[in-house]
């Protein structure tokens, strides 16, 4: 078992990060909120130039890892566009994106986008989806709108797992950025005549947040490996990743807001924009409790296999955890 991303995938993610920065970085999100009708025309050419829409995550480990790296870079800049959902598009339907939705209140952050969309529930039921018009401004809705669904068929575990995992790579990128912003903040701000970063309590809080973020990164890589190798438990692993991602996001954003203080909730602070646009990923299609319930119902009393699959693979486990 080797869950490390390839050098090519890592380099692609770095190139995407730089390209998005050069194209405007944080300004891409601000512009999308100011002119929601122009967000697709402002972002799609950047992604097309990167070759994002040519990636086939089902085509092999290299392309799957490249897709995950791209999602992470998009999350770092809180790119207001469904990159993960477009990369998850099903191969057997003439659609542009695949979105995991709740059965009761299907919705997604796709307001105003002219995309042919498919939707799938955690139970595996697949639909064609149409985004309904929304009167709510993106500043409060984060581009979330209701979806109208038309039943199609059942999906495969591979499609469902991919559609669950890639958005969590986007959320991982957001947590990367939240940690970076918080580190910069505590190095600059002073209290009692010294930088906040020198206070022991602050160091403990930041360490707790980084442990959550780093642990999530390992699980995100494992979930990719699970999909690539076609494990029977790939959907279990995807749901476990989502559960861990939501728990990590709660910790990271809580610490980030606490250490930023009141300014962290003001739009003059990048953290405020990042935190606000992380909400759809954290609440849709399922929040923390609902994700835990879905995972529990799926695995029942047999539990998760995860990285530790028994003594017969102990050598592989040591390969993963060895420094």
pLDDT of residue 3: 83
**Average pLDDT estimate for 21-45:** 95
Torsion of CA 87, 78, 24, 133, to 10 degrees: 70
Cβ atoms of residues 173 and 20 within 8 Å: no
Q: What is the pLDDT of residues 134-190, one digit of tens each?
A: 889 999 999 999 999 999 999 999 999 999 999 999 999 999 999 999 999 998 887
* H, E, C per residue of 61-97: HHHHHHHHHHHHHHHHCCCCCCHHHHHCCCCCCCCCE
Residue 307 pLDDT level (bands cut at 50, 70, 90): low
pLDDT category of residue 200 using cuts at 50, 70 and 90: confident
- pLDDT grade for 306, boundaries at 50, 70 and 90: low
Token pair in block for residue 191: 């209290």
- For residue 35 the two structure tokens come to 């002119």
Task: Tell whether the model's pLDDT for residue 315 goes beyond 70.
Answer: no
Q: If you average pLDDT over every residue of the chain, what do you get?
A: 90
Sequence-distant (6+) residues with CB within 8 A of 177 are: 75, 76, 77, 78, 270, 274
Q: What is the pLDDT of residues 91-107, one digit of tens each?
A: 999 999 999 999 889 99
| Domains of the chain in sequence order | 159-321 (1.20.140.10)
Q: Which of 300, 299, 306, 121 shows the shortest CA–CA distance to 231?
A: 306
pTM here is: 0.92
- Give the lowest-confidence range in 50-54, 192-196, 217-221, 238-242: 192-196
């Amino acid at each position: 078992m080797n869950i490390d991303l390839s050098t090519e995938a890592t380099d692609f993610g770095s190139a995407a990060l730089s390209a998005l920065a050069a194209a405007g970085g944080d300004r891409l999100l601000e512009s999308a909120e100011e002119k929601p009708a122009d967000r697709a025309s402002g972002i799609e050419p950047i992604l097309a130039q990167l070759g994002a829409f040519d990636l086939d995550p089902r085509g092999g480990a290299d392309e799957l890892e490249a897709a995950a790296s791209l999602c992470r870079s998009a999350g770092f800049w809180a790119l207001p566009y469904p990159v993960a959902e477009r990369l998850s598009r099903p191969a057997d339907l003439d659609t542009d994106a695949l979105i995991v939705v709740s059965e009761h209140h299907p919705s997604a952050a796709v307001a105003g986008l002219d995309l042919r969309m498919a939707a799938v529930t955690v139970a595996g039921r697949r639909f064609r989806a149409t985004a309904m018009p929304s009167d709510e401004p993106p500043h409060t809705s984060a581009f979330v709108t209701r979806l109208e669904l038309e039943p199609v068929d059942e999906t495969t575990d591979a499609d469902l797992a991919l559609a669950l995992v890639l958005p969590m790579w986007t959320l991982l990128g957001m947590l990367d950025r939240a940690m970076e912003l918080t580190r910069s903040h505590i190095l600059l701000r002073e209290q009692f005549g010294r930088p906040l970063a020198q206070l022991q309590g602050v160091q403990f809080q930041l360490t707790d947040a980084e442990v959550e973020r780093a642990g999530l990164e390992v699980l995100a890589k494992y979930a990719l490996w699970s999909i690539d190798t076609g494990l029977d438990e790939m959907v279990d692993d995807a749901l476990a990743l989502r559960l861990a991602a939501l728990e990590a996001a709660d910790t990271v954003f809580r610490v980030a807001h606490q250490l930023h203080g009141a300014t962290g909730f003001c739009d003059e602070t990048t953290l405020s924009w990042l935190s606000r646009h992380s909400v759809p990923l954290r609440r849709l299609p399922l929040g923390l409790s609902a994700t835990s319930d879905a995972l529990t119902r799926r695995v029942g009393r047999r539990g998760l296999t995860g990285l530790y699959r028994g003594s017969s693979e102990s050598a592989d486990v040591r390969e993963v955890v060895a420094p």
